[in-house]
A = this chain, B = another copy of it.
Amino acid sequence: MEKLECLLCHRLYPLNVFFPFCPECNEPLLFSYPQKRREILLEREGLEKYLDFLPLDRVDRSLSLGEGNTPLIKLTRLSKKLSLSSLLAKNETLNPTHSFKDRGSAVAIQKALSLGLEKIGTVSTGNMAASTAAYGAKAGLKTYVLLKEDTSSEKLLSTAIFNPVLIKVKGDYGKLFSKSYSLSQKLNIYFMNSIDPLRIEGYKITGYEIFLQLERKSPRFIFVPVSSGGHLTGLMRAFIDLKKEGLIKNYPTFVGVQARGCSPLAQAFEKKKLRFTRISKADTLAHAISNPDPPGGNIALKMIREHGGMIVAVSDREILEAQKMLAGEEGIFCQPASATVLAGLLRIKKKFKFKTQDDIILIITGSGLKAVDALDSSRIHVHHTSISNLENVVKSTI
């Protein structure tokens, strides 16, 4: 009974997990909003709590890895430093594979099993690959991970451990993305890629949790890194849901943040364009959001436009600086792609005056352990001494 909708032409289609795109517009399809009243089922746990808002009939608990329920942490020291009264981090690195992707995988895998599918897949080399492979393993499904040819074996280890079928494919990454859907239909492999509509429904739960954690309030601002556009779209849909159900009055202002070296959506937003232009070459150390041709980009742009949000870009230098601040001031070690949210806030703060009562949420999408190679080990300052001289060295630092 679930219908998918094209956000651009508003045509409706039945759910087809093998090809969730509008045949007219080529844009990814999203679930259309149901007519029925929905509510958060507070007495339940896990996905079941939000079942009314998900395109699932039931939840098979045995497929869960314990995703969600991530902490919303007050950034007390940063707030003070930046003269903001309520700056908070939604720390998605406390998910089972240490990134927000688990939210989407958890919902998509439910659908895969309820449809009786036996094979899933994804096109990714990073967080999504590990997440999909982990949930595929838990469900006992054969999992295909399609990779860029130049992916290093080291980078693959944290996905390979889940024992998926790994295939490195020569050629253009965008074409590989399209190709995955032709395989999907021919071979009954559900490719739960970045803009998969079930995956995006899973991202909504982060939004509902924020609402509950703020004691049934809407935050004023939400900063989120933007790559394919799927995560931003999911989070925005959560607050559309909450508004529709009369649970919040004010819609938050979403600020999508991209890395300057790969910022097709920030560029389109700045130029007030309806559609983004593909970037010829990405150049940023924030690999997890380095997507020159984001498949959900036009939809994300449309939603941001319609809800008074913005998309900004930050430099790699700003990203690394923000990453250090989050760790050094607040004890949160995130990957560079995630640090963009603080970099974006610092950038906007220069021209924008936040009000004292504004809750500002930074979505921390992935763990720093995912990209330790982005840190420069030569810049670590280490003292060297012997046990007998240790006291003197410690005293010199006090």
Contact = CB atoms under 8 A, between A and B. Distances in A.
Contacts of A144: 394, 397
A140 B136 CA distance: 41
Contact of A165 (B163, B165, B176, B383): B383
A332 interface: yes
Interface stretch (A166-174, A192-200, A258-266): A166-174
Given A327-B161, A387-B176, A333 B97 contact: yes
A390 interface: yes
Contact of A157 (B119, B136, B377): B377
Contacts of A165: 383, 394, 397
A370 interface: yes
Given A377-B154, A398-B187, A96 B170 contact: no
Given A91-B66, A394-B144, A158 B333 contact: yes
A163 B232 CA distance: 31
A101 interface: no
A98 B369 contact: yes
A382 to B, nearest CB: 5
A156 interface: yes
A378 interface: yes
A387 to B, nearest CB: 4
Interface residues on A, range: 35 or more
B153 A385 contact: no
Given A98-B369, A391-B186, A395-B187, A71 B77 contact: no
Contacts of A288: none
Nearest to A180: B390
B187 A394 contact: yes
A380 interface: yes
11 contacts: A64-B71, A66-B71, A77-B140, A98-B367, A133-B331, A137-B331, A138-B331, A144-B394, A161-B333, A161-B375, A171-B387
